[in-house]
Structure 1
Amino acid sequence: MKCVINVFLLLFFFCSYALSSNVSKYEIEIDKFPVDYSSFIESIRVGGLGDAEFSSEIIEVDKNIIKVAIHFDLKGKIIRQDDWQVQIKPKFKPIFNWAPHLTPSDNHIIAQHVFRTPALIAVNQQQGIVIIPDLDILANAGKNKWYMDMDAGKNIFLLGMSESRISDHVLYERCPGAIYDRNVEFGFYIIKYEEKEELENPFRCPLKFMWNRWGHDLFIRSLPLNLEPYVKYTYDWAFNNWKNSVWQEFVIDGRKVGAPVFIVNTTQSPNYPGEVNEREFRSIWNQAWFSSLRSASGLFRYAKRTANKDLLEKAILTKELALSFPQKNGFFYGLIGTEMYEEKLNGKKYNRSKGWDVYFWGNSNRNPYTWDAKQSPFHILDMSWTALLMLRWYDELEKDERLLSYAESYGRALLGVQYDNGYFPGWLDVNTLQPMEYLNDSPETSLSVTFLLKLYEITGKEEYRAAALKGMEAVKEVITEGRWEDFETYWSCCRIGTPQWVGKKVVRNNMYKQCNFSMFWTTEALLECYHTTGSSEYLKLGQRVLDEMLMTQASWQPPYIYVNGVGGFGVMNADGEWNDSRGSLFSEIILQYGKLLNVSEYMERGVCALKTSFEMMYCPQNLDAKRQWEKVWPFFDERDYGFTMENYGHGGSSSPEGDGMGEFTIYDWGNGAASEAYNRILDKFGKQIFE
C-alpha cells in the first residue's frame, strides 16, 4: 500500500495534466513582426502546454517569409495533454482554400503521415498566405505527433500535436494519449503574397520554398542514378522467375496473344510454402491504371535497345491482344478475364482460374454501378487512354496501320457523344451506348482532349482538333474550383463521400474531394493544347495544374516513413499512400514542363518521381524496403527480386516492423509501368538527366 501511495505522489508532483488545448493562453503580436503582416494575419493564438514555460521567436527568412519558433520548457516534468494547437486567423476572406487532406469535422485532423508537401493555403483576388510546418523541427519531434487542420468556414488555420486514429479510408481523428516528457520545440513558416502571378498560381511559392529547403539536397545526394538494374529485375521477375504466375499466353480467334496478368500476390511466389490463392479474377486490363499496352510499349523499347528477340515477341503479343478487343460502334472493352471457381483444401477456400479457354470481355469494375466486370459499362476515360497509347505506338515505335485504324474508329465514335458544353460523358451503358449518371462534367474529359489532339496531329482532320479544344474549354472551370473528381476519387478503395460528396465541396474545408490523377490528365492536355495552338494561356494554366499536382508529391524525407520517399506521390486528399506507382506515369510530363520552361526544380522532381516508382521493389538496391519486405514475408529471396508493391503506407500508417508494406504486385501499375516510364524517358531525354 505504501508503494502505491508513493507512486501516486510522485506522479502528482512531477506530472502536469491537461485534457485539451488552451488556445487563448498566449498570443503572438503581429505588429512586432520584422516583416509587415498586419493586412494578412489577424491573430496567432498559442495554446498552453500544461504549466510549461512558453517562449517564441519570429525570424525573417526573406521579405515575404517569416518563421515562427515556439518553445516550451517542461523543467523536467511529464505533461499529459490530449491536444495542443496554434490557431492562425487570416485578416482577409479567402475565395480559395487548399490543404493536403480533408477534415470534414472539428474532430478530424491532417496527421503527419500525409505530410508530403504539407501546407495550408488561402487566397483571394488581392492577397494570399501559406502556412508550412517546420519540417526540420518535426524530423526531431520524436514521439510527439504533429498535425494540421483548416476550418475554412471560421477562416482559421490550425497546427498542433495530438495522437490520432484512422477512420474510414483514410481520414484521421484526434484521440487521447499524448505525453510530453522533454522540452518541446515547434515551428512553422508563413509565406505571404499579393502579386497577380502568385495569386493565379498559389502553389508555386510553397513548392519552390520546400524543394529548395529540403528536396533539392536529397535529390543531389541520390545522383548519379542507375535505374537499369531495376528494369532488369522487373523483366527477369515477370518473364523468368515468376513466369508461371505472371505471363499469360493464349489464342483468340486463331491469333496468338499474350500479356502479364493483372495482379499476383505473395502466395504465387516460387518460394511460398503454401497453396496459391489468387487475389482477384485472373485478367488482363487496358484501363487508365492497369494498361498492358502501356507496359508493352516500354518492353518494346527495351527489347529493341538490348536486341532481345524473346522480349520483343512478348511486347508484340500484347499489342496483338489490344487489337483483339472487340469494338461496338467504335467503343471497346477494357479487360479480358477468365472464369473463376473456389477450391476447398484442408478446410480452407482458395480462389482458382478455369483458364483462358473460358474467357470473357468486360470493363473495369471500379465504377459507380457494379462490381461485376462482365456487367460494367464502357468507360470513356479507359478507351481514350488505350486509343492514345495505340497512336503513340504507331507514331513512335512501328507504323502498324491497324493501330491507327482502331483508334480512329473510336475517335469518330467519341465525337458523337460529346456534349454541347464540351464535356465527354463518364460512362456509357454497354448495351445502349447511352451516357450514364456520374462524371459527365469531370476532368476525365482532359484525357479525351489529349487523344483527339494526337489523332489530329496524325490525320490532320480539323474535327478532332475542334472537339479537343472545346473539351479543354469546358475543363477550365474545374481548374479554378479545384474540382478534381474522377473514377478513382470515389470508386476505388477510398469510398468516403461516395456518392454524397460528388460534385459538392466539403464545407468545412471549402474543398472538393480531389484525386491527382485528373490533375495529370489536365496538365498533359493543356500542354498539348499549347503545342497545337501556340497560345501561352494554355501553358500558364498547365503550369498551375502541374503545381497543384506536385503538392501531392513528397518534398522531404520524414523519419517515420521507413522507405525512401522524397519525390514519391500520394493519390488524393482522403488517402494515405506514399510512393504510389503513378509517379512513373507523372514523371515525363513534369520533365516536359521543366525542359520547356527551363525550371530545374521540375527536372529534379520529374527524375525523383521516376526513381521513387522503383523504391518499393524488393531487391538489394533498396536496402530499407528490402528489410521491410523480409519482416513481412520472410520467405522472400533472390527469386523474388522485382516484386513491387504499388505504394507504401496505403492504410494511413507505417512502422519499423513492416506496417505499410503490401502483399501484391500489379505489373501494369508497378514494376512493369515503372520500367516503361524509364525506357520512354531514356529514349526521349537521354542518360544525362540521371547524372
Structure 2
Amino acid sequence: MPKKLAGYIAAIQVDSIGGYAPTVDYQEVNQHITKVVISVDIKDTVRLDDWQVNITPNFVPTFHWAPHLTPTAEHIIAQHVFRAPALIMAGGGRQLTLIPDIDLLREKPPVDWYMDMDAPANKLTLGMSLSAVKEHVLYTRKQGGTYPPGKIKFGFYVLTAKTSGLPANPWRQALAFFWEKWGNPLYKQNEPLKHRNLEPYVRHTYNWAFSNWKEPVWQEFDLAGKEVGAPVFIVNSTQSPNYPGEVDEREFRSIWNQAWFNSLRSAQGVYRYARRTGQDELMNYALKTKELALSFPQTKGFFPGLIATEMKDTLIQGKRYHRSSGWDMYYFGNSNRNPYTSDARESPYHLLDMSYTGWLMLTWYAELEKDSRLLDYATTYANGLLSMQQPDGFFPGWLMPDSFQPMQHLNQSPETSMSVTFLLKLYELTQEERYKTAALKAMQAVIDQVIPAGQWEDFETYWSCSRYGETDLVGRKIERNNLFKQNTLGMYWTAQALLACYQTTHNQKYLNQGTRTLDELLMAQAAWQPSFIHVPVLGGFGVMNADGEWNDSRQSLFAELLLDYGKQLDNQEYTQRGLAALRASFVMMYCPENPTSKVQWQQAWPFFGEKDYGFMMENYGHGGVTDAHGLGIGEFTIYDWGNGAAAEAYNRIVDHYGKEFLETN
C-alpha cells in the first residue's frame, strides 16, 4: 500500500477466489486520489457466494455516510442502488472516501458488486455477491455466485482529504470526482435524452391528460356553485383507452394538494404553457384548478390536503373492481401517508402540505396573476402557522383534525424548512417583519439540529411504501451504519429554504449550509449509466437510503433549485446537474421520443399504443430489481408526480431561464 495512504488506511484485506490469489495494483491519480485494481486469474469455474475487500481506516471516525442502509451483517448495499456509489468516513482531521470503479462494473462482471459499512467495527467493505430484496427496499446476500475461468478484475478509488475537525462538506470531493470522470462526459453526449427540445414531451403530457385519457384523468364538477376541476390523483394501465378489460381504479379517486402530489403546482405549468402558446382551453383547465384550491375550507387558517369521492366495489362476472361513486359524493380529507391512519377522512392536518400549497399560491400570485384571493388565503394560513411555532423554532408535523393541537411525530424535522420558504415568500410580498423573524428562527433550528446529524426524516421516510423502521427507528440512528433512515425531500426543502434565507439576508452562512445540504442531496443523483438499468438515468434521482427507485419524479422538483445554485455560485457542475435532472424527468414517458423506454413499456403493457403517448410512471426499478424485459416498469401514472409535474418544471424553467438556455447548455 502506498505510504501516502498509511495515515488514512490501516489495512486492506483482499479475499482469494476459490484459492486463486489476488494481485493488487495501486495507481496514483493525483495527490488525493489513488486507484486500486485487483485481479484474480481463475483456471476453473469457482462457485463462491461472497467475496470481499475489507478496508480498515487508520483513525476513529465520528462521521459516516453510505448510500443505503445495512442494519445487520446480513445486509448489503446492492449494485442496484449504485447511483453515485461511495462510502465515506471522517474524524480526527481526516476523511476517507471509497468509490467503486464503475468502468470495471460496466464490463458486466460475472457476479454483482456490493458495498457495506460497519461503523462500530470501523470497517468498509467492497465485494461481489448476488443479492435479494428483503424489506422494502433493503438487500441481503444471495447464494449462487459463479466465476468462470479467466481474469476477474475489481477496483475502486481511494479519495483522501485533511480537514479541520469534521469536514464542512463531506460529499463535495466525491461529487466533483464522479461528475468530472463519468457524469460530464455522458452529459456532453446528450444523456439522458438525445435531444434538447423538451416541447414534444409537454405536448404529449397535455394531449394525454386533456384529450386521449381525458375521461379518467380530468375531473370536473360543481363545488358550492363554482365549476372546478383538476387531473385525478392516480390512474393505472386498466384505464387506458386501449385496455381490453374492465377498469379497476388503484386508489380512491381524489385530487391532492400536498407536498408530493399537488394539483396547484401542475396547474401552474398548464397556465404558463397556455399563456406562452395562446391556448385558451388549456388556460381554462388551469383556472378551474386554481378555483378548486381556493375552495378548500379554512379553519383557523388551516385547510385540508385533498378532496375525494366515496368508492365502491363493483362485481362483474364474479370479480370485484374498485370504482368511484362520483363527485356528488365528495369529502375533504388529508394525506393518508402519516403515522396515524390510512383513512384520508380521519387523517390529521399536515403543516408541510399546507405550507407547500400556500407557497404555490404565493408563487401564482407573484408570477402568474394578481388574484388577491390567493394572497389572502395564504396570509390567513400564515397567521395560523405562526401560532404553531414552538419555542425551539420548529413547526410541528401534524395537527389533530378536531382541536388543531400538535401530535407526537416529526415535531423537530426538516419538514419545517418548507414553512421557512413559504414565510419568506410572504415576507417578500408583504414586507411584514414577523414572517421573516419566524422563518429565520425556524431555519436556525434546522441548521442546529437536523443538518449536522443528517436527520432527514419526513413523512415519506416511514409512512409511504418504504415503511422499514416505522415502529422503532423514528428519531434514532441505525447503530451499525451510524446513520438515520434518510429521505431526499427533506434535503431539498432545506436547501431551498437556505437559498431563500441567503437571498433575503445576504448572510453567507445560509449559502454555505445550503451548498452542503444540496451536495448531500446530490449523492442520490445518478452520475453514470449502469448496464443493469435498462433506461437512461443520468441526472435522475433516488428517493432514500432504503428504497430502490431510479428516475424518481422528485427530480423535476429539484431541477430548478440546482440551476439556481449554479447561477448563484457560478458553478457549471450544478447547472449541468440541474438540466440533466430536468431531462431525466421525461425519460420514463411512453412516447416515440424515448425509444429505449418505449421498448420497456411495451414489454410490460403490450396493448399500449399511440393514444397512450404521455403515460409516465413516477420512477423505474421501484421494487429494487430490473431486467431487460419490462421488470422495473410500473403500472400507473400520478399526473401531479409524473408527467404533469415534469411539464410544470419545464414550463417554469422556460419562464425563468428561457428556452435558449435549456437548449444550448
1:523 corresponding residue in structure 2: 495
Is structure 2 residue 547 aligned with structure 1 residue 575?
yes
The one-character-per-residue Cα deviations of 1:225-248 (angstroms, maximum 9, x if unpaired) are 111100000000000000001001
Q: Report the Cα offset of residue 396 of structure 1.
A: 0.6
Q: Report the Cα offset of residue 124 of structure 1.
A: 1.8
For the Cα contact (< 8 Å) 1:523–1:546, is it kept in 2?
yes
Of 342, 360, 365, which aligns to 1:371? 342
Q: The residue matched to 1:481 in structure 2 has which SS? A: coil
2:200 corresponding residue in structure 1: 229
1:6 corresponding residue in structure 2: none
1:487 corresponding residue in structure 2: 459
Matches within 5 A, 1:315-464: 315-464=286-435
2:210 corresponding residue in structure 1: 239
For the residues of structure 2 that align with 1:83 and 1:127, how far apart are their CA atoms?
A: 30
Q: Report the Cα offset of residue 55 of structure 1.
A: 1.1
The one-character-per-residue Cα deviations of 1:429-472 (angstroms, maximum 9, x if unpaired) are 01000000100000100000000011111011110000000000
Is structure 2 residue 163 aligned with structure 1 residue 191?
no
2:614 corresponding residue in structure 1: 642
For the residues of structure 1 that align with 2:302 and 2:111, how far apart are their CA atoms?
A: 54
Is structure 2 residue 10 aligned with structure 1 residue 39?
no
Q: The residue matched to 1:123 in structure 2 has which SS? A: strand
Of 628, 631, 642, which aligns to 1:670? 642
1:62 corresponding residue in structure 2: 30
Is structure 2 residue 473 aligned with structure 1 residue 473?
no
The residue type paired with residue 613 of structure 2 is Y
For the residues of structure 1 that align with 2:367 and 2:70, how far apart are their CA atoms?
A: 45
2:521 corresponding residue in structure 1: 549
2:510 corresponding residue in structure 1: 538
For the Cα contact (< 8 Å) 1:125–1:199, is it kept in 2?
no
The residue type paired with residue 683 of structure 1 is D
For the Cα contact (< 8 Å) 1:53–1:74, is it kept in 2?
no
The residue type paired with residue 98 of structure 1 is W
For the residues of structure 1 that align with 2:81 and 2:662, how far apart are their CA atoms?
A: 29
Is structure 2 residue 474 aligned with structure 1 residue 502?
yes
Of 98, 115, 136, which aligns to 1:131? 98
For the Cα contact (< 8 Å) 2:234–2:250, is it kept in 1?
yes
Of 253, 265, 279, which aligns to 1:308? 279
For the residues of structure 1 that align with 2:589 and 2:36, how far apart are their CA atoms?
A: 40
The residue type paired with residue 46 of structure 1 is V
Q: Report the Cα offset of residue 94 of structure 1.
A: 1.0
Q: The residue matched to 1:608 in structure 2 has which SS? A: helix
For the residues of structure 2 that align with 1:198 and 1:392, how far apart are their CA atoms?
A: 38
2:235 corresponding residue in structure 1: 264
For the residues of structure 1 that align with 2:21 and 2:12, how far apart are their CA atoms?
A: 18
Is structure 2 residue 84 aligned with structure 1 residue 117?
yes
Is structure 2 residue 111 aligned with structure 1 residue 144?
yes
For the Cα contact (< 8 Å) 1:169–1:651, is it kept in 2?
yes
For the Cα contact (< 8 Å) 1:198–1:204, is it kept in 2?
no
Is structure 2 residue 573 aligned with structure 1 residue 601?
yes
Is structure 2 residue 624 aligned with structure 1 residue 656?
no
The one-character-per-residue Cα deviations of 1:228-284 (angstroms, maximum 9, x if unpaired) are 100000000000000001001101110110100000000000000000000001000
Q: Report the Cα offset of residue 141 of structure 1.
A: 2.9
Is structure 2 residue 56 aligned with structure 1 residue 89?
yes
Q: The residue matched to 1:366 in structure 2 has which SS? A: coil
Is structure 2 residue 602 aligned with structure 1 residue 630?
yes
**Alignment length, in residue pairs?**
658
TM-score (norm 1): 0.94
Q: The residue matched to 1:278 in structure 2 has which SS? A: coil
1:217 corresponding residue in structure 2: 185
Which 5+ residue runs of structure 1 have no aligned equivalent? Answer: 1-29
1:207 corresponding residue in structure 2: 175
Distance 1:615 1:229, change over 3 A: same
Q: Report the Cα offset of residue 197 of structure 1.
A: 10
For the Cα contact (< 8 Å) 1:576–1:650, is it kept in 2?
yes
For the residues of structure 1 that align with 2:111 and 2:152, how far apart are their CA atoms?
A: 9
For the residues of structure 1 that align with 2:519 and 2:467, how far apart are their CA atoms?
A: 26
Percent identical residues: 58
For the residues of structure 2 that align with 1:36 and 1:468, how far apart are their CA atoms?
A: 46
The residue type paired with residue 641 of structure 2 is W
Q: The residue matched to 1:496 in structure 2 has which SS? A: coil
TM-score (norm 2): 0.98
Of 561, 577, 583, which aligns to 1:611? 583
Is structure 2 residue 249 aligned with structure 1 residue 278?
yes
For the residues of structure 2 that align with 1:690 and 1:139, how far apart are their CA atoms?
A: 29
For the Cα contact (< 8 Å) 1:198–1:205, is it kept in 2?
no
The one-character-per-residue Cα deviations of 1:165-201 (angstroms, maximum 9, x if unpaired) are 1001000001211000032100000000014499210
For the Cα contact (< 8 Å) 2:95–2:163, is it kept in 1?
no
2:47 corresponding residue in structure 1: 80
Q: The residue matched to 2:648 in structure 1 has which SS? A: helix
1:14 corresponding residue in structure 2: none
The one-character-per-residue Cα deviations of 1:188-223 (angstroms, maximum 9, x if unpaired) are 000000144992101001000001111111111116
For the residues of structure 1 that align with 2:525 and 2:644, how far apart are their CA atoms?
A: 21
For the residues of structure 2 that align with 1:684 and 1:44, how far apart are their CA atoms?
A: 50
For the Cα contact (< 8 Å) 2:306–2:334, is it kept in 1?
yes
The one-character-per-residue Cα deviations of 1:40-91 (angstroms, maximum 9, x if unpaired) are 111111011112242121000110000000000002x100001000000101
For the residues of structure 2 that align with 1:371 and 1:566, how far apart are their CA atoms?
A: 35
1:157 corresponding residue in structure 2: 124
For the residues of structure 1 that align with 2:79 and 2:94, how far apart are their CA atoms?
A: 28
The one-character-per-residue Cα deviations of 1:476-497 (angstroms, maximum 9, x if unpaired) are 1210000000000000000100
Q: Report the Cα offset of residue 686 of structure 1.
A: 1.3
For the Cα contact (< 8 Å) 2:548–2:623, is it kept in 1?
yes
For the residues of structure 2 that align with 1:224 and 1:280, how far apart are their CA atoms?
A: 35
For the residues of structure 2 that align with 1:274 and 1:638, how far apart are their CA atoms?
A: 18
The residue type paired with residue 420 of structure 2 is V
The one-character-per-residue Cα deviations of 1:553-603 (angstroms, maximum 9, x if unpaired) are 001000000000111100000000000000000000001001110111101
Of 589, 593, 597, which aligns to 1:621? 593
1:5 corresponding residue in structure 2: none
The one-character-per-residue Cα deviations of 1:293-338 (angstroms, maximum 9, x if unpaired) are 0000010000000000000000000000000000011000000000
Distance 1:346 1:355, change over 3 A: same
The residue type paired with residue 431 of structure 1 is D
Q: The residue matched to 2:129 in structure 1 has which SS? A: strand
Q: Report the Cα offset of residue 224 of structure 1.
A: 5.0
2:486 corresponding residue in structure 1: 514
For the Cα contact (< 8 Å) 1:141–1:185, is it kept in 2?
no
The one-character-per-residue Cα deviations of 1:523-578 (angstroms, maximum 9, x if unpaired) are 00000000111100100110000000000000100000000011110000000000
2:653 corresponding residue in structure 1: 681
For the residues of structure 2 that align with 1:530 and 1:224, how far apart are their CA atoms?
A: 35
Is structure 2 residue 562 aligned with structure 1 residue 590?
yes
Q: The residue matched to 1:349 in structure 2 has which SS? A: strand
For the Cα contact (< 8 Å) 2:93–2:165, is it kept in 1?
no
The residue type paired with residue 611 of structure 1 is R
Q: Which stretches of structure 1, 4 residues or longer, exceed 6 Å deviation after superposition?
A: none
For the residues of structure 1 that align with 2:333 and 2:503, how far apart are their CA atoms?
A: 35
For the Cα contact (< 8 Å) 2:84–2:526, is it kept in 1?
yes
Which 5+ residue runs of structure 2 have no aligned equivalent? Answer: none
Q: The residue matched to 2:625 in structure 1 has which SS? A: coil
Distance 1:62 1:202, change over 3 A: same
2:67 corresponding residue in structure 1: 100
For the residues of structure 2 that align with 1:436 and 1:124, how far apart are their CA atoms?
A: 37
Q: Report the Cα offset of residue 689 of structure 1.
A: 3.1
For the residues of structure 2 that align with 1:132 and 1:86, how far apart are their CA atoms?
A: 13
For the Cα contact (< 8 Å) 1:447–1:521, is it kept in 2?
yes
Q: Report the Cα offset of residue 143 of structure 1.
A: 3.4
The one-character-per-residue Cα deviations of 1:490-538 (angstroms, maximum 9, x if unpaired) are 0000010012100000000000000000000000000000011110010
